Structure 1
Amino acid sequence: MWTNEENKPPEGAKYGVTAPISESGPKPIDNEKTLELETVLNNYDNLETEEELNHRMEILARLNDMVNEWVIELAISQNMPEEIAASVGGRITTFGSYRLGVHSKGSDIDALCIAPRHVTRADYFTSFFEKLKDCSEVKELRKVEEAFVPLIRMNFDGIEIDLLFAQLLLSHIPEELDLRDDSLLRNLDPKCVRSLNGCRVTDEIINVVPNVDTFRLALRAIKLWAKRHGIYSNILGYLGGVSWAMLVARTCQLYPNAVAATIIQKFFFVYSQWKWPTPVLLKKSSNPNLNFPVWNPQYSASDRSHLMPIITPAYPQQNSTYNVSKATLSIMKEEFIQGMQLVEEIMIGRRDWTVLFQKPVFFAKYKHFIMLLASSHTNEEHLRWTGLLEAKIRHLVAILERNMFIETVHVNPSIFKLRQDFFKVETADGIHFEELPNSLWFIGLKFGPISYGSINLTREIQKFTDEVMKHANNINMYQETMKIEAKYVKRKNLGDYISNEIIDEDKKGFAGIPMSVKNGATELLRRNGTTPPSSNSSVVSVSSNGNSYSNAVPVNSTRRVTVVNAAIPVSSGGSSSGSNSNSSSPESNSRSEPSTRSAPSPPVSECSPKSESSSPRAESSSSKRPSDSPDEVAVRPPTRRRLNGYIVRSPPVVEEEIVEFIDLTEDEVTFVSSS
């Protein structure tokens, strides 16, 4: 924080691609609120002690020594004279939150191993990996060679480290090396360029903000807010650390003389009104003619499909938010608006900063959930299995958000554990608990404003589980003991799977959000055109053996609703028969290759709704259900409907494996067993 002319940015300095919105300095109240913010952040016990900071530096120094030793050993093994080998160098440098100075207690370190030209990537994943194996301080060591940005992951004396590798075309690595120099990229392997990009982007962010101390304090607050509000996860389709850093950096550029409290206020003001997909840029793009692909929506259809582009400032410029989907963007927009209104109340003294960092409700917000359960037999096995599954969850979100019956898909980034009761085993010696490594994810669902319709999530869930199993087999990861299960769960049944303490704690978040803010956020969303469609919107049903047939149905008409419960355990290596999903082989960690998205298809045109009186609501629902006979299945006859001027025919649908029926005429969805 600065409160005097001493730390003020240079007069006339320009930051970013546009002129600032305001160059006003802080008022006394702004300085006061900034001091209060610092106090609140410190009270969250989010900062490391001096001892913990020194421990990190010691670990990085030891890792740096190991890299130097390894580079020298390789040089000597290649018949390089010892006196020359001793000077070729090789070192560790950091990037990300640690490099920015905003890492929190217990967070991991992103680091890069820089090696001279005689050291190859193959050497890194063989001889250096073995050297790490022999180190007693290194635990949970694993290599991820197939990732878009290959890396080695480890726990080094209690600190998680993600270590990337880059080979520079230099005979030796000097102590003072400016990685922002574009000429270092000339003729480099693309994987090395991507590895270097983390350091280059971090250095550029620090270089383009007017006041680094103000930026760091504001970023600490925004990172804490994003984590506690469940929108801090690049791998799940929210934003990762570098994206949040760039959003805060751009706000600092627009208000170069503001203090941290004002930056946070303006952060929510700017991004609650930002017209996505207008990109966020920190500096004008450079083109050193090195022929690496850069983000360019004018020429790339894939880049044009990105929903929330935040462009890295270092060449080659890339979109750091390619994982964002319609569902996750919608969640973040709502959070920006709620944050804006909360900070307004904080700045006028109605509330303090703690309200901004209260966890919002999740389980109390939704009535319907998809629960994903991953389990394994060993911790090492489970670490790899959950890493793969987590990388795939955003694909399930994308599948679900295309279902026209679903209004909201909200994935919770938190990983939960099954209740211990699940592992209770009764023997002659008494009751024992044989707990297996397991992880639970929950996806909250909100159905659209339909009074009666058909929803079947089986195909979506099956496509997802098939994709996970196929990828696990393709990379030779799958073991018979690895299992994945996807299951539909009602809110009232959550206690069957997770502890009641978690559910009770979630309920406390609801009281922390003022109703005035919630109502105001909803109203602003409505004005911005981001609210769900009105009750007169049309509905599209997707069905029948992998083919999609769109039937525009008036919302107020009465239809029998059939739902196959999305409970699909997968315990074998093969995909289920009949599945025709074409899964690519995307990433298995957060630095994965961006998937190519096609542009979203235009929405289905609305139908004229029938009046309330024409809806045969009084008709008995029991007369519409299939026979109770186990030898019979329900057959829906073919239909012909006019959609967008075309006649669309849907074939007869044999509704097999009917587990439950869903009645959407009530606010709480009611299931009736078909048995």
Structure 2
Amino acid sequence: GGACKMAGLVQVVQEPISTADPSERDRQLNDTLMQLMTEENLLPTEEEEKLRMRALGKLNEIVRDFIRRTLDKKGFTDLPADDTAYRLRTFGSYRLDVHLPGADMDTVVIVIKHIDRKDMFEDLYPHFESRSDVKDLIKVEEARVPVIKFTMDDFEFDLAMARLPIVSIPEDFDITDDRHLRGVDTQSVTSLNGVRVTDTIMTLVPTMATLKFAIRCLKLWAKRRGVYKNVLGFLGGISIEIMAARIGQMYPKALPCKLLSAFFMVYSSWQWPMPVGLVDIKPNSCDLNLMVWMSCPQFEMSDKRHEMPIITPVYPSQNATANVSRSTLKIMTEEFVRGKELCKKIEMGQAEWSELFEPLDVLNKYVHYLQVSIKAPDKAQYSMWKGFTEANIRNVVTCLEREREAYLDRAHPCQRNFARPKESDDAEYEHYWYLGLKFDMERIKRDKRKGPNITAPILDFKRRLMDWKRREEGMKILVTSVKHKDLPSFVTNPEAEEETMDPAMHELIQGQ
């Protein structure tokens, strides 16, 4: 009965809350929002979209040639290298048409059983290496989703592969049909689900045409307010899309400005950990018995601990925000409340849209910070050590939250991280991350303590990292608490070297 009870967990929108047409005031507010979107460069130009289409067309030809070579090499010369042998599909923000200018493109090549992932790395990857129009080429073979990453014609691509156990892809192939997951390996299921989630969202929301403007605004808002980055325990693209899609279901006729204010209104008072979802969770489908959120006894305990579940709308349902901690939920909730109050003021003509997107500088918000710094002797070790550390930064937060003596109100991971400029060529590579710390002074007073003690959780976190089986001699880590006034100048200086870590790199490293 457990699974059935769980299936009713998601409160599905049965019918819209309002189907009212937009008012004159809504139209005015929407015009000013659209103006801001243009000023903030949130809408890709027609020119960029044409170039994207052209780059995708080129990738499709490259993939078709690879399929042809592979089939020939394996003796299937009679099989055509057409859409019966493969399909190149996009998913994620580009497919939903909610991408920001310059965003990368998530693609997956769906192939028949005669082609496998090894072929992709042994034939397609060397082909990319030989091309002058392909740059920044990286292969990530060991990840949860193996990918080839590259830049072509100034667009960044992630290319994954999903292999179906069939000899020919039917013309009316519907990827959202669960039967197509039969006999498919785990990595392919994950890749296919990228496409299945995106396609399903498009069918579940009647008003994608208006919602996509609201989603673009929400992405900008989350980035500016420091609540965007799944790996740090905040929102990712897919979680924003699912949360927004639910608002789209509630207000099918609303303009983007209304959807935006409804988003903040609904989520500022949401009763977490009640999950957000678009459809009921299926505990099982086609007897596939895959891992479904809150439906597998062996994971039920850890699933129950999730602070802010946002559930993907396809089988097997997963929580897109499993990394959220008590601290990051508190920070996001405060931002939802701020958004709701600002939207009210904007509606009353007492504030501007630009205030909603005012950047928040985490490095100026707190008195106390935790500084995590790593060192490595060479570039390759540095790159690995940095990736592994960033993938684990959110674990500092959970270590601190678990320790009673830490008296933590919150730990706020800063989205930006910093490479320390090298003093000389033979100096070690160094990298820095920061978390703002706020303590529960009331409880400290009540318990008659001098102050918080964070030694144990920090040692625990350091030990986890030092025990990594791929760590080499010379890869060092230091975790210290610093006051705002003592932050190093290369961090507080606005020209500071900021580096972003690629999600696939985390995947690669966490898979180890």
- Report if TM-score (shorter chain) is over 0.5: yes
Moved over 6 A (4+): 433-436, 591-594
Determine the C-alpha separation between the residues in 2 that align with 1:375 and 1:55: 41
User: Alpha carbons of 1:593 and 1:271: their partners in 2 closer, same or farther (altered >3 Å)?
Assistant: farther
Counterpart contact for 1:410–1:443, Cα < 8 Å? yes
Q: Check if 1:467 corresponds to 2:464.
A: yes
SS in 2 for 1:318: coil
- Superposition deviation, residue 23 in structure 1: 2.1
Counterpart contact for 2:44–2:100, Cα < 8 Å? yes
Per the alignment, residue 501 of structure 1 pairs with: 494
Determine the C-alpha separation between the residues in 1 that align with 2:378 and 2:37: 37
* Higher mean C-alpha deviation, range 486-495 or range 195-204: 486-495
Counterpart contact for 2:84–2:171, Cα < 8 Å? no
Counterpart contact for 2:363–2:492, Cα < 8 Å? no
Determine the C-alpha separation between the residues in 1 that align with 2:358 and 2:493: 20
- Superposition deviation, residue 350 in structure 1: 0.6
Determine the C-alpha separation between the residues in 2 that align with 1:277 and 1:167: 36
Correspondent of 2:112 among 110, 113, 116: 116
Q: Superposition pairs for residues 321-360 of structure 1, below 5 Å?
A: 321-360=321-360
User: Alpha carbons of 1:151 and 1:85: their partners in 2 closer, same or farther (altered >3 Å)?
Assistant: closer
Q: Check if 1:134 corresponds to 2:130.
A: yes
Per the alignment, residue 270 of structure 1 pairs with: 266
- Superposition deviation, residue 282 in structure 1: 0.5
Per the alignment, residue 181 of structure 2 pairs with: 185
User: Alpha carbons of 1:131 and 1:480: their partners in 2 closer, same or farther (altered >3 Å)?
Assistant: farther
User: Alpha carbons of 1:247 and 1:356: their partners in 2 closer, same or farther (altered >3 Å)?
Assistant: same
User: Alpha carbons of 1:135 and 1:174: their partners in 2 closer, same or farther (altered >3 Å)?
Assistant: farther
Per the alignment, residue 667 of structure 1 pairs with: none
Determine the C-alpha separation between the residues in 1 that align with 2:510 and 2:311: 16
Per the alignment, residue 411 of structure 1 pairs with: 413
User: Alpha carbons of 1:257 and 1:495: their partners in 2 closer, same or farther (altered >3 Å)?
Assistant: same
1:566-618 C-alpha deviation (Å, 9 max, x unpaired) = xxxxxxxxxxxxxxxxxxxxx96259989xxxxxxxxxxxxxxxxxxxxxxxx
> Larger relative CO (CA 8 A, sep 6+): 1 or 2?
2
1:174-195 C-alpha deviation (Å, 9 max, x unpaired) = 5664211222111211221111
Counterpart contact for 1:168–1:184, Cα < 8 Å? yes
User: Alpha carbons of 1:460 and 1:139: their partners in 2 closer, same or farther (altered >3 Å)?
Assistant: farther
- Superposition deviation, residue 115 in structure 1: 1.3
Correspondent of 1:98 among 91, 94, 99: 94
Per the alignment, residue 555 of structure 1 pairs with: none
Higher Cα radius of gyration: 1
Q: Superposition pairs for residues 478-517 of structure 1, below 5 Å?
A: 478-480=471-473, 482-501=475-494
Determine the C-alpha separation between the residues in 1 that align with 2:85 and 2:219: 36
Counterpart contact for 1:294–1:316, Cα < 8 Å? yes
Determine the C-alpha separation between the residues in 1 that align with 2:59 and 2:430: 32
SS in 1 for 2:230: coil
User: Alpha carbons of 1:153 and 1:439: their partners in 2 closer, same or farther (altered >3 Å)?
Assistant: farther
- Superposition deviation, residue 483 in structure 1: 4.3
Determine the C-alpha separation between the residues in 2 that align with 1:352 and 1:415: 30
* Higher mean C-alpha deviation, range 342-351 or range 15-24: 15-24
Determine the C-alpha separation between the residues in 1 that align with 2:188 and 2:34: 39
Counterpart contact for 1:376–1:438, Cα < 8 Å? yes
Counterpart contact for 2:387–2:505, Cα < 8 Å? yes
Q: Check if 1:293 corresponds to 2:291.
A: yes
Per the alignment, residue 40 of structure 1 pairs with: 36
Code of the aligned partner of 1:488: S
Counterpart contact for 1:72–1:88, Cα < 8 Å? no
Counterpart contact for 2:92–2:195, Cα < 8 Å? yes
- Superposition deviation, residue 128 in structure 1: 2.5
What TM-score, normalized to structure 1?
0.67
Per the alignment, residue 443 of structure 1 pairs with: 435
Per the alignment, residue 506 of structure 1 pairs with: none
1:291-337 C-alpha deviation (Å, 9 max, x unpaired) = 22222268422222211111111111111111111111111111111
SS in 1 for 2:491: coil
Counterpart contact for 1:96–1:199, Cα < 8 Å? yes
User: Alpha carbons of 1:168 and 1:592: their partners in 2 closer, same or farther (altered >3 Å)?
Assistant: farther
* Higher mean C-alpha deviation, range 15-24 or range 222-231: 15-24
Determine the C-alpha separation between the residues in 1 that align with 2:178 and 2:352: 45
User: Alpha carbons of 1:290 and 1:158: their partners in 2 closer, same or farther (altered >3 Å)?
Assistant: same
Q: Superposition pairs for residues 191-340 of structure 1, below 5 Å?
A: 191-286=187-282, 287-296=285-294, 299=297, 300-340=300-340
RMSD: 2.7
- Superposition deviation, residue 66 in structure 1: 1.9
* Higher mean C-alpha deviation, range 83-92 or range 198-207: 83-92
User: Alpha carbons of 1:252 and 1:394: their partners in 2 closer, same or farther (altered >3 Å)?
Assistant: same
> Aligned pairs, how many?
484
Counterpart contact for 1:148–1:592, Cα < 8 Å? no
- Superposition deviation, residue 16 in structure 1: 4.8
Code of the aligned partner of 2:506: N
* Higher mean C-alpha deviation, range 284-293 or range 253-262: 284-293
User: Alpha carbons of 1:385 and 1:379: their partners in 2 closer, same or farther (altered >3 Å)?
Assistant: same
Determine the C-alpha separation between the residues in 2 that align with 1:87 and 1:295: 34
1:138-190 C-alpha deviation (Å, 9 max, x unpaired) = 33333333322232222334332222210012223456642112221112112
Determine the C-alpha separation between the residues in 2 that align with 1:90 and 1:247: 32
Correspondent of 1:148 among 144, 147, 160: 144
1:497-521 C-alpha deviation (Å, 9 max, x unpaired) = 4243369xxxxxxxxxxxxxxxxxx
Code of the aligned partner of 2:306: H
* Higher mean C-alpha deviation, range 462-471 or range 98-107: 462-471
- Superposition deviation, residue 264 in structure 1: 0.9
- Superposition deviation, residue 379 in structure 1: 5.5
- Superposition deviation, residue 240 in structure 1: 0.6
1:616-667 C-alpha deviation (Å, 9 max, x unpaired) = xxxxxxxxxxxxxxxxxxxxxxxxxxxxxxxxxxxxxxxxxxxxxxxxxxxx
- Superposition deviation, residue 346 in structure 1: 0.8
User: Alpha carbons of 1:86 and 1:424: their partners in 2 closer, same or farther (altered >3 Å)?
Assistant: closer
- Superposition deviation, residue 469 in structure 1: 3.6
Structure 2 unpaired stretches of 5+: 1-10, 497-503
Counterpart contact for 1:295–1:318, Cα < 8 Å? yes
Determine the C-alpha separation between the residues in 2 that align with 1:293 and 1:109: 27
Determine the C-alpha separation between the residues in 2 that align with 1:161 and 1:460: 39
- Superposition deviation, residue 360 in structure 1: 1.9
- Superposition deviation, residue 122 in structure 1: 2.5
Code of the aligned partner of 2:347: M
1:449-475 C-alpha deviation (Å, 9 max, x unpaired) = 12443544343333323323433x34x
Percent identity among equivalent residues?
A: 37
SS in 2 for 1:296: coil
Determine the C-alpha separation between the residues in 2 that align with 1:484 and 1:145: 27
User: Alpha carbons of 1:323 and 1:403: their partners in 2 closer, same or farther (altered >3 Å)?
Assistant: same
Determine the C-alpha separation between the residues in 2 that align with 1:53 and 1:436: 42
Q: Superposition pairs for residues 359-374 of structure 1, below 5 Å?
A: 359-374=359-374
Per the alignment, residue 584 of structure 1 pairs with: none
Determine the C-alpha separation between the residues in 1 that align with 2:179 and 2:327: 40
